Amino acid sequence: MTEINVAFAQTNPVVGDVQHNLALILEAAESVADTADILITGELALSGYPMGDLSYRADVIDATLSALDQLVAASTQEMFSSLYFVVGHISFATDARPTAQSSLAIAHNSASVIQNGTIIGTYNKQILPNYDVFDDWRNFIPGNNELVFSVSGKKCAVAICEDIWDANSSRPQKLNELGIDLLLVLNGSPYTRKKAAERQVAARSFQRGFDLAYSNLCGAQDELVFDGGSFLLNSSGTTLFKAPFERGCFLALPNSQSSFVEDELSTLWMALVEGLKQYCQKTGQHSIVLGLSGGIDSAVCAALACDAMGASNVIGVALPSRYSSDHSLSDAAELAHNLGIQYRITPIDQVHQAFEQTMDFSALAAENLQARIRAVLLMGISNTDGALLLSTGNKSEIAVGYSTMYGDAAGGFAPIKDVLKTDVWRLAKWFNSSRGSALIPVGSIEKPPSAELRPGQVDSDSLPDYELLDQILTLLIEHSATIEEVVANGFQLKDVVKIEAMIRASEWKRSQGAIGTKTTAVSFGTGRRIPLTTKFRKL
Amino acid sequence: MTEINVAFAQTNPVVGDVQHNLALILEAAESVADTADILITGELALSGYPMGDLSYRADVIDATLSALDQLVAASTQEMFSSLYFVVGHISFATDARPTAQSSLAIAHNSASVIQNGTIIGTYNKQILPNYDVFDDWRNFIPGNNELVFSVSGKKCAVAICEDIWDANSSRPQKLNELGIDLLLVLNGSPYTRKKAAERQVAARSFQRGFDLAYSNLCGAQDELVFDGGSFLLNSSGTTLFKAPFERGCFLALPNSQSSFVEDELSTLWMALVEGLKQYCQKTGQHSIVLGLSGGIDSAVCAALACDAMGASNVIGVALPSRYSSDHSLSDAAELAHNLGIQYRITPIDQVHQAFEQTMDFSALAAENLQARIRAVLLMGISNTDGALLLSTGNKSEIAVGYSTMYGDAAGGFAPIKDVLKTDVWRLAKWFNSSRGSALIPVGSIEKPPSAELRPGQVDSDSLPDYELLDQILTLLIEHSATIEEVVANGFQLKDVVKIEAMIRASEWKRSQGAIGTKTTAVSFGTGRRIPLTTKFRKL
């Protein structure tokens, strides 16, 4: 068992704001300076992660390296005299570009070990992921060096994230032959609902007789949430310590394991709150506006907004039309009252009539008209009050294109775009249960979903039942199943064919969609890249 | 000099529609069967290109390989008895994934040589680009074999696109040592304004004593236009033949070089027409609607729409507000008349007043309100008439965020999103000149640009002069220059700082933008990947 005290700095860097990111690391170091031997940050904690094509910019790299110099200088302070910093940062590539790599990359994804004014060495990420949201091979040149250093007589080595996800590579054996006692792994590992368990499995598979310290970022960047959860495994793969989904610095004292609960829905809720909160903070938004339809999606988004920004910074707007039912308004009002948010009622019928007097709308156009009038009013409030408009669509709707472009699809952030409708209901019930009160009105949870486009209209007029729809969507999207494979799972061919066609036909809508937090292996974001114009029938 | 007759099949495949793509290749082959020795297609001509993550799908690969089998069977026809087919297609990977590659790829980007019922061999692309719009390393596994075969006693080898862009690789020398006479290069090389010349430079740099036949696709897929221009170089690098920007099959008979003119603006126009036309055709759109402001952007878009879909399939709508000037309406009417498109006038003031009576709008919100009302009406026409709405913004506006979300930014396709304002003017003048008549009214070209958000308002109230703006934008975006570097080019620091900040602040708007044709090295599309939340000051 490691006799080295490892501290995990679960920081929330802002891409490019290297002085801010440096301050976070130093603050973490100060909090554990008297007890920790090693402070390990997340991947690229000094630069921010992911950087996208900012990694091409020499000025961004220069700024990061200046901050690294400041960190080296700070490490000479008395309190840090025996502390090893293991810090993630971008650096100018020193290794040559492999023949196979045709990119514009000029940098390594690096981690430096710093001790008392000296950079002991710099490690460069070797395995550069190029799937899902990851574009590392586009943006970085791979490294090929080992960095081994000793702390209190124990040999340590460094790896970065994807480096440890292939247990069949020759590297675990190589590290074992080098006789290392502890592998320090810096990660920028985005949250998905199953990721926490997958990380531990990957880490254990990579171990060959050495302890392993896995450090992760904690915060969010655009569509990605980083859920902390840093952990320390002994050489047998036993978890000695696991940090919570919480920013801060966590000293991995054996047997000091936190007793926090890891319930899937509560963690999902935290991730959704964090994704929205950090998007607001990192883009300078101070308040949120959203339409309240009385339905479940907007109710859950309003609750998330409260947890992210505080109820006093949330404006809920009911925008009743001639087709709105009484319960729509009463459920919206009850929700706003329960959450304590600002509540406004803005009827749309006068505008609706003016549009109808201006032009003839077909039935389809007329259905979309209401949603678009609401978007204009909500964006009016967004511009007038300086509030971020939320798009409240869920993954089921977005998958099949059941939304109005420039209507309910409008918004700067879509908090539940990667949450299926059936999970939205689960979240709502979990939320009420966790608060010990039906803050989200029972009516919103229990009534049949309806866009209220026509009198008496319900979603099930044009969509399969959501329980069915969500299972098929999960197979088609998350598991990339073919139509035949979905049918082999017991679903009706006509349902699967219809849903698959709806997914294909709405590719263009998603290409214009607001970003929102990724919660699954395949979300509708930068990690899914499908042509808009394609005619393959089994997509 | 090659004594082999090479024919270039400049087809326009649809991704996934392999039967259609097969038919195009066979049609090309039939047209040259009596004279050609080799028929060479563009890259992935049987599957479609780019495929995005469809390359992960076994069913897509299976369908392509079935079509390839059909092609092999067809090659036994008497007329093809002496013809070698060199055809691009996806295939299941036979080579192992390199250690450095961490992706979900299962396929090669291949080209097979087929002769009289036999696949002589299959070549797999070796260099997989991973920059700009190219995600080949994400989607394919690299190959490492040479495919050498003889035609009429001449030795031929095969390469695919990026394979020949590194003249410093060891491969040109290797091909020379193999004694090849002719290198056949299949390309999916997207149009940019400078690309045609760059291709010839790259090809010549790669030659080591062998002739080179460079084949390209011709058509468009989403944001990419493929501009044909296949060419044949003798071993000295002299261009023996160059095909036009035109679909069809071109036999590279020496000295048969076409006499077509390659003027930069006329080619740009053709590319913009082709991008729009193919987006409509491949998504099943039959008509186009757009708002006509009387300004230059909508005028150029209307002219492009006419060339893409025919004037009778284009609906131009004037949507005058209380701030619209007389010349806005008269210029719009004149344009519609000159082009022969459908013309409608839909005043927005009644709706505008209804909105004002419904809610209080701040000055900013009020400016955006008009644009959003127009979008609702235009989308109403789009839904009612089944017409594709164009977003008419130019690259200069989009770069600095000078557009209204869910207002003028709304639309399914943005034809001039990668054309700077000053180039829009040039295109308008070129268009009038090429048609021998001022179809685009002189007033639209000459008046000061204005969004007509307030009485007397002009763009230059809030933006630098476009001549200045466009030069700075070109440096910042296309040349990735830092603020310091732009200033060193003779621009004022305050202008550059302001523009750079506007680019950063509007990243979120572009993330929701309609797709449109790429015409430059760095367009606002899938080839530019910048985080929305970043605080680096020198982006």
- CB < 8 Å to A355, chain B: 351, 376-377, 380
The helix/strand/coil state of B474 is helix
Q: What is the mean pLDDT of residues B160-179?
A: 94
| Half-sphere exposure for A158 (CA within 13 Å, toward CB) | 36
Got the DSSP string for A229-257? --EEE-TT--EEEE--SSSEEEE--TT--
Buried b (16+ CB within 10 A) or exposed e, B213-250: bbbbbbbbbbbbbbbbbbbbbbeeeeebbbbbbebebb
Residue A255 banded pLDDT, cuts 50, 70, 90: low
Optimal mutation site among A223, A376, A537, interface B, most CBs of chain B within 10 A:
A376
B102 neighbourhood in chain A, CB within 8 Å: 127-131, 137, 162, 165-166
Q: How many residues does chain A have?
A: 539
Question: What is the structure's pLDDT at A39?
Answer: 98
Q: Do the Cβ atoms of A81 and A36 come closer than 8 Å?
A: no
The per-residue pLDDT for range B268-293, each reduced to its tens digit, is: 999 999 999 999 999 999 999 999 99
- Mean pLDDT for A8-21 is 97
Using alpha carbons only, what angle is made at residue B233 by residues B227 and B234, rounded to the nearest 5 degrees? 170
Q: Does B381 contact chain A (CB < 8 Å)?
A: yes
A137, B101: Cβ pair inside 8 Å?
yes
* Residues on chain A touching B279 (C-beta within 8 angstroms): 532-533
Name the token pair of A323.
């087709």
DSSP, collapsed to helix, strand or coil, labels residue A119 as strand
Per-residue pLDDT averaged across A425-441, rounded? 97
pLDDT surpasses 60 at A509: yes
The residues of A annotated with a catalytic role in the active site are: 43, 125, 161
Which of A228-232, A358-362, B105-109, B324-328 has the lowest average pLDDT? Answer: B324-328
DSSP B187: E
Q: What's residue B102's pLDDT?
A: 92
* Chain A to chain B Cβ contacts (< 8 Å): 305
Q: Per-residue pLDDT tens for A72-116?
A: 999 999 999 999 999 999 999 999 998 888 999 999 999 999 999
Q: Which of B83, B72, B66, B88 is nearest to B31 (CA)?
A: B83
Q: Is A224 helix (H, G, I), strand (E, B) or coil?
A: strand
- CATH 3.60.110.10, applies to B6-255: yes
DSSP codes joined into one string, B254-316: TT--------HHHHHHHHHHHHHHHHHHHHT---EEEE--SSHHHHHHHHHHHHHH-GGGEEE
The model's pLDDT over A484-508, given as tens digits with 9 standing for 90+, comes to: 999 999 999 999 999 999 999 999 9
Report the residue of chain A nearest B317, measured CA to CA. A359
Distance CA B529, CA B526 (A): 7
Peptide bond into B98 cis (omega under 30): no
Active site residue B334: no
- Between CA B317 and CA B328 the distance in angstroms is 12
Which pair of tokens denotes residue A101?
A: 């790599």
> If you measure CA to CA, which chain B residue comes closest to A539?
B54
What residues of chain B, 90 to 129, have a C-beta less than 8 Å from chain A? Answer: 98-104, 126-129
Nearest to B411 by CA among B395, B388, B394: B388
Which residue, among A181, A192, A136, has the nearest Cα to A161 in the 3D structure?
A136
Cis peptide before A50 (omega within 30 of 0): yes
Q: Tell me: pLDDT of B255 over 70.
A: no
Task: Give me the torsion for CA of B279, B283, B286, B291, rounded to 10°.
Answer: -60
Q: How confident is the model at residue A1 (pLDDT cuts 50, 70, 90)?
A: very low
Distance of CA B65 to the CA centre of its chain: 27
B 405-444 residues inside an 8 A Cβ radius of A: 405-406, 410, 412
Q: Which one, of A189, A177, A249, A241, lies nearest residue A213 by Cα? A: A241
pLDDT per residue over B391-444, tens digit each?
999 999 999 999 999 999 999 999 999 999 999 999 999 999 999 999 999 999
Look at the domain A268-455 and name its fold. Answer: Rossmann fold (3.40.50)
Whether B372 sits inside 8 A of A368 (CB atoms) is no
Residue ranges of A 284-343 with Cβ closer than 8 A to chain B: none
**Cα A128–Cα A129–Cα A130 angle in degrees, nearest 5:** 120
CB of B50 closer than 8 Å to CB of B43: no
Q: What confidence score (pLDDT) does residue B1 get?
A: 47
Mean pLDDT score across all residues of chain A: 95
Write out the H or E segment, with its range, that includes residue A279: helix A264-283
Gap between the Cα atoms of B454 and B321, Å rounded = 10
- What one-character-per-residue DSSP string does A418-481 give? TS-HHHHHHHHHHHHHHHTS--S-HHHHHSPP---SSTT--GGGTS--HHHHHHHHIIIIIS--
Other beta carbons within 10 angstroms of residue A229's beta carbon come to 26
Per-residue model confidence (pLDDT) at position A256 = 59
Q: Which of A14, A376, A383 sits opposite B364 (nearest CB)?
A: A383
Say what the pLDDT of residue A539 is: 42
**Which among B130, B222, B361 is the nearest to A380, CB-wise?**
B361
- What is the predicted pLDDT for the residue at A391? 98
Reference B378, options A406, A347, A322, A291; nearest CA is: A406
pLDDT of residue B259: 57
- For residues A23, A24, A26, A30, the Cα torsion angle rounded to the nearest 10 degrees is 130
Residues 6+ apart with CB under 8 A from B213: B2, B6, B8, B38, B40, B182, B183, B184, B185, B230, B231, B232, B233, B252
- Rounded to two decimals, the ipTM of the complex is 0.95
Delimiting residues of CATH 3.60.110.10 domain(s) in chain B: 6-255
**From residue B452, how far is each of B35, B320, B337 by CA, in Å?**
60, 10, 23
Catalytic site residue from B3, B30, B78, B125: B125
Q: Which two tokens stand for residue A249?
A: 């610095």
Name the residue among A52, A54, A130 with its Cβ closest to that of B102: A130
Mean pLDDT of A407-434: 98
pLDDT of A464 above 90? no
Q: Which of B226, B314, B220 is nearest to B276 (CA)?
A: B220
What secondary structure letter does DSSP report for A37?
S
Specify the pLDDT at position B221: 97
Average pLDDT over residues A45-59: 95
A348 touches chain B (CB under 8 A): yes
Whether the predicted pLDDT of B262 surpasses 80: no
Q: Which strands sit side by side in the sheet containing A38-41, from one edge to the other?
A: A118-124, A107-115, A84-92, A38-41, A6-10, A248-251
CA–CA distance from A11 to each of A14, A28, B59 (Å)?
Answer: 10, 8, 43
Q: What angle do CA A379, A380, A384 make, to 5 degrees?
A: 115
Separation of alpha carbons A296 and A443, rounded Å: 9
Instruction: Return d(Cα A114, Cα A122) in angstroms, integer.
Output: 9
The answer, yes or no, to whether residue B464 has pLDDT greater than 90, is no
Nearest to B189 by CA among B159, B223, B215: B215
Tell me, yes or no, if B54 comes closer than 8 A to chain A by beta carbon: yes
HEC-encoded secondary structure of B124-144: ECCCEECCCCCCHHHHCCCCC
Phi, psi of A432 (to 5 degrees): -60, -45
Query: What mean pLDDT value characterizes chain B?
Result: 95
Name the residue with tokens 């469809």: B54
With CB atoms and an 8 Å threshold, state whether A368 touches B379.
Answer: yes
**DSSP structure class, residue A387:** -
pLDDT digits (tens, 9 = 90+) for B497-527: 999 999 999 999 999 999 999 999 999 999 9
> Against a cut of 0.90, is the pTM above it?
yes
Residues of each domain in chain A carrying CATH 3.40.50.620: 268-455
pLDDT of B261 reads 64
Residues A435 and A485: beta-carbon distance below 8 Å: no
Distance CA A156, CA A169 (A): 19
Residues A115-135, mean pLDDT to the nearest whole number: 97
At A190, the amino acid letter reads P
| β-pair type (B239-242, B231-233) | antiparallel
With a cut of 50, say whether residue B539 has pLDDT above it.
no
Query: What pLDDT sits at residue B458?
Result: 83
Using CB atoms, pick whichever of A102, A355, A513 lies closest to residue B351. Answer: A355
CB contact under 8 A, A130 and B406: no
What is the C-alpha to C-alpha distance for residues A192 and A517, in angstroms, rounded to an integer?
10
Answer with the residue of higher pLDDT: B253 or A183. A183
Calculate ∠ Cα A369-A372-A377, nearest 5°.
Answer: 125
- Count of CB atoms situated within 10 Å of the CB of A42: 31
Q: What are the pLDDT digits (tens) for B7-32?
A: 999 999 999 999 999 999 999 999 99
Helix (H) or strand (E) holding B383: helix B363-385
| Rounded CA separation B12/B45 (Å) | 8
The secondary structure element, H or E, covering residue B215 is strand B211-216
> Which residues of chain B from 475 to 514 reach within 8 Å of chain A, CB to CB?
480, 482, 484, 508, 511-514
- Asked if A376 lies within 8 A of B369 by C-beta distance, the reply is yes
Tokens 């080898």 correspond to B157
* Rounded distance between C-alpha atoms, residue A207 and residue A124, angstroms: 20
